[in-house]
A and B are shown apart, each in its own frame.
Chain A
Amino acid sequence: MAERETHESDYVPYFLHKGKYPGALGWLLATDHKRIGLLYLACIATFFSVAVIIGVIMRINMLPGHVILTAQQYNAAFTLHGIIMVFLVVIPAVPTIFGNFFLPILIGGRDMIFPRLNLFTWYLFVLGAVLALVSVFFGGGAVDTGWTFYVPFSLKTTVNVPLAVFAVFILGMSSILTGINIVTTVHQLRAPGMGFFRMPLSVWGFYATAWVQILATPIIGITMLLVVMERLFGIGVFDPAKGGDPLLYQHLFWIYSHPAVYIMILPAMGVISDIFPVFSRKNIYGYKMIAFSSLAIASVGSLVWGHHMYVSGQSDTAGIIFSLLTFLVAVPSAIKVFNWLATMYKGSIQVEPPFLYALSFIFLFSIGGLTGLFLGALSPNVQLHNTYFVVAHFHYVIFGGMGFGLAAAVHYWFPKMTGKMYNKPLSVVAWLVVFVGFNIFYFPMFILGWEGMPRRYYDYLPQFATLHQVASIGSFIMVAGLVLVAGNLLRGLVAGARAPANPWGGATLEWTLPSPPGQEDFEEIPVITHGPYEFDKKESGA
């Protein structure tokens, strides 16, 4: 496919394009998928920073002898950290930022199929975030239930639970609509010749995720509404004092919240599947296997929620079935890792910054996944449930997996989105600091949990002091690294060198566009004649 050069006559970068509305309105009323992607990016980056700061405050509090919060403030802190990270950052990030920006381009369309609906999801997202924020300051104080809102505690506590869970309901609506938009776009807007098996694997990731968003999110929405009604009108669905069932709440909560883990990780795995071939200059090994394993994870993954409840009082038989299914869903994830490694075999590998993040993704995600086997197994779970082991496990999966996947995506697509290049040596240094800090931060938590340190503890027994101290120090290193990463990217945005159209030599459609793309993406809708990872071999080392 011929590369279009940036000097073409009518080309204007999308962010300079003059639309119907001038200035800020041009952004706030934008229906262009790229602008909406950036609107999401701005919000999510802000929320992420807030949640990281709350996290650091908690880590300072856990330093031996540095108590700076009251117990109530600490409980509110981990609740807010969880709510913000889960509902405002991790679940939406990859689909809304990169799904919006790149999905239409990757399949050769010009926009999402429902552009105004797309903008509406952003407003719902902002509304949900504002409600969550308001709930912190009004009506009884910041929620102290943990992001899981377990009943009956969430029915009894005096803080503003109704508003906070209502915010989650609104965020869920946003997520469902995004899912519908993505599924429909993939079905309707693929360019001529772009069969399902010519789609880049990132598109498969977005697609599988979108189905989970559509099917699972209504359950959390309704559950949250039931909590509101229980609090306001005492309807007695969950409250045992009124004949309700607290375990019913846990089932409903996890029926959504376990699949939510896949909403978090699948799109990141998709992006990783795009990055491996590019930097190995080789077709992905086992395209169909990876695509189908995404679907397998999305479907079997919706049947394993009870692994959060082995010791909750659910029936032992249920626990046994959930454990078996949990182990089966581990297999497609393992397959993906093997496929990525096989893609490197006999490749021509360039370890550029995005690939560095992709490789560390595999390392961290593997640790996260393997420790998931401890928790999926019945008897070890009885020991490790609700301890720091779990905290470490999901931070390895979500931050190490999804987070590093997101960072890989940022470093991969940054030149395309901005038309600029960040400083590569500095980005390697920043990566190293984050990576080292991350492991010093979270690895000790596995040991803490194994030794019996429960999670959500404001205070701890003296024997846990040393490892808590190590973890806190690690967190400071990691955050310093995050600041470096952000600083380097911002510097690149303002003062970076101009990026060429195809800096990494990728073969997917976004690299056929100028960096940054123009308003219409494609002047002419391309006709697809080959798969997404068929590189020009001689061009190796671009």
Chain B
Amino acid sequence: MATSTGVVDGALIYILAMSVLLLFLIVFFMIYFAVRYRASRNPVPSELPESPLIEAIWVIVPTLLVTTMFIYGLTGFRFLRSAPANSLVVKVYARQWSWLFEYDNGKKSADLIVPLGKNVRCELISADVIHGFYVPAFRIQQDAVPGLATYAWFNATTMGSYYILCSQYCGRRHSAMIAKLIVVPPDQFEAWRQGKKIEFTGASYANMPAGERLLYERGCVSCHSLEDNKMMGPPFKGLFGSQVVVTTAGVQRTVVADSAYIHKSIVDPGADIVSGFPNTMPPSKDVVSEDEIGRIISYLKGLK
């Protein structure tokens, strides 16, 4: 849970209580009138003269009621929309169909690891389509829009692991675009951020060989199979060293998938488009470093 959880719940429960009361009154009178004034019991209806007083009450009471709801919602919103200045800043890269979190020292992670009790400001960045950064347990949600800087913030108050879901429909694997938010003690967080190897409980890709893990963490496997089945993109098994038919600037040609080719496919996927596939691979220079590309290539070399 986070400080935002209670803030949002307060307004929500207030509206819920008022709604239940109103619904109860409506249903009560509806059934009561239908029974009390049924034709067999009340054969002759009596007209009700219109009363300006009653009508004024009908207008004023609901107006006041909804105004209180508006104000309650507004105070919570103000809270959610003003990240304290001393927040820890995390860049959140949302892409089809994975999340990547980058800390101020360049440390990257597939799960959002945060210190307990610290303000965290998530700056949302999308490279392709709109995604929704949504942490149900913290009651926060904000779209990541390409070309627009947006953010959400929170202050976690209990340790544990929570889901980060994508709430804005973004295509085929929208429902699989899930990461973990793991709240850890501040000293552990700091050690981890400085590069110490710690596996936190609940982490998404624990205990996986390093090269493979990288493909998972950077979301490559949501489009590329490590077996030989076709997904959104071509399968990786047997790719290295094979002959690939590609379209380069509108011209079709055959190339050998060597290190240079794979490197280019990752940093500039629109340059050589594999035939039979759409040009939908997001450019990955923000999410994989040169060093990591090297590790991916050597992993692919071994994937026969």
**A residues apposed to B, CB below 8 Å:** 71-72, 75, 144-146, 150, 152-153, 156-158, 240-241, 245-247, 280-283, 285-286, 289, 310-313, 316, 319-320, 323-324, 327-328, 330-331, 334-335, 337-338, 341-342, 344-351, 359, 362-363, 366-367, 370-371, 373-374, 376-383, 385-387, 451-452, 454-461, 537, 540-541
Contact = CB atoms under 8 A, between A and B. Distances in A.
21 contacts: A153-B130, A153-B169, A241-B146, A311-B142, A311-B143, A320-B74, A328-B66, A330-B62, A331-B59, A341-B30, A341-B33, A344-B34, A345-B48, A347-B37, A350-B38, A350-B39, A351-B38, A370-B23, A382-B8, A385-B141, A387-B167
A70 to B, nearest CB: 9
B73 A378 contact: yes
B62 A459 contact: no
A382 B140 contact: yes
B180 to A, nearest CB: 12
B163 A461 contact: yes
B261 interface: no
A53 to B, nearest CB: 22
A541 B41 CA distance: 11
B46 interface: yes
B80 A382 contact: yes
Interface string B137-148: 101111101111
A246 B174 contact: no
Contacts of A461: 163, 178
A373 B69 contact: yes
Contacts of B187: none
B34, B73, B74, B141 — most chain A CB neighbours (10 Å): B73
Top 9 A-B pairs, shortest CB-CB distance: A452-B136, A379-B76, A377-B73, A240-B147, A378-B77, A457-B175, A344-B33, A370-B19, A327-B66
A249 to B, nearest CB: 10
Given A245-B147, A313-B148, A383-B8, 16 more contacts: A71-B172, A153-B171, A247-B148, A286-B55, A289-B55, A316-B81, A342-B54, A347-B33, A349-B34, A366-B23, A377-B70, A377-B72, A452-B165, A454-B175, A456-B169, A456-B174
Given A370-B22, A383-B12, A451-B136, A359 B38 contact: no
A198 B67 CA distance: 35
B70 A282 contact: no
B86 interface: no
A75 B174 CA distance: 10
A283 B128 contact: no
Contacts of B59: 331, 335
A349 B143 contact: no
B253 interface: no
Interface in B15-69: 15-16, 18-19, 22-23, 26-27, 29-30, 33-34, 37-39, 42-48, 50, 54-55, 58-59, 62-63, 66-67, 69
B76 A378 contact: yes
A58 B136 CA distance: 24
Contacts of B48: 282, 285, 342, 345-346
Contacts of A370: 19, 22-23
B100 to A, nearest CB: 19
B173 A71 contact: yes
A331 B69 CA distance: 13
B130 A348 contact: no
Nearest to B280: A156
B166 interface: yes
Interface residues of B, number: 79
Contacts of A540: 39, 43-45
A454 B171 contact: no
Given A150-B130, A347-B42, A362 B26 contact: yes
Contacts of B69: 327, 373, 376-377
A327 B22 CA distance: 15
Contact of B77 (A71, A319, A537): A319
A75 B169 CA distance: 9
Contacts of A382: 8, 76-77, 80, 139-142
A141 to B, nearest CB: 12
B129 interface: yes
A246, A313, A459 — most chain B CB neighbours (10 Å): A313
Contacts of B209: none
A443 B277 CA distance: 42
B129 A341 contact: no
A347 B23 contact: no
A525 B257 CA distance: 83
Contacts of B79: 379
Contacts of A371: 19
A82 to B, nearest CB: 11
Nearest to A385: B141
B22 A386 contact: no
Given A156-B129, A348-B42, A382-B141, A150 B167 contact: no
Interface string B120-132: 0000000011101
B134 interface: yes
Given A452-B137, A460-B175, A540-B45, A312 B58 contact: no
A153 B171 CA distance: 8
B87 interface: no
A160 to B, nearest CB: 13
Contacts of A246: 130, 145-148
Contacts of B72: 377, 379
B191 interface: no
A382 B81 CA distance: 10
Nearest to B278: A158
B7 interface: yes
A346 B37 contact: yes
B73 A71 contact: no
A342 to B, nearest CB: 7
Contacts of A537: 44-45
B176 interface: yes
B168 to A, nearest CB: 6
A510 to B, nearest CB: 22
B11 interface: yes
B167 A386 contact: yes
Nearest to A371: B19
B297 interface: no
A346 B142 contact: no
B170 interface: yes
Nearest to B165: A454
A379 B7 contact: yes
Nearest to B133: A311
A363 B30 contact: yes
Nearest to B137: A452
A380 B175 contact: no
Contacts of A241: 146-147
A71 B173 CA distance: 7
A348 B137 contact: no
Interface string B176-192: 10100000000000000
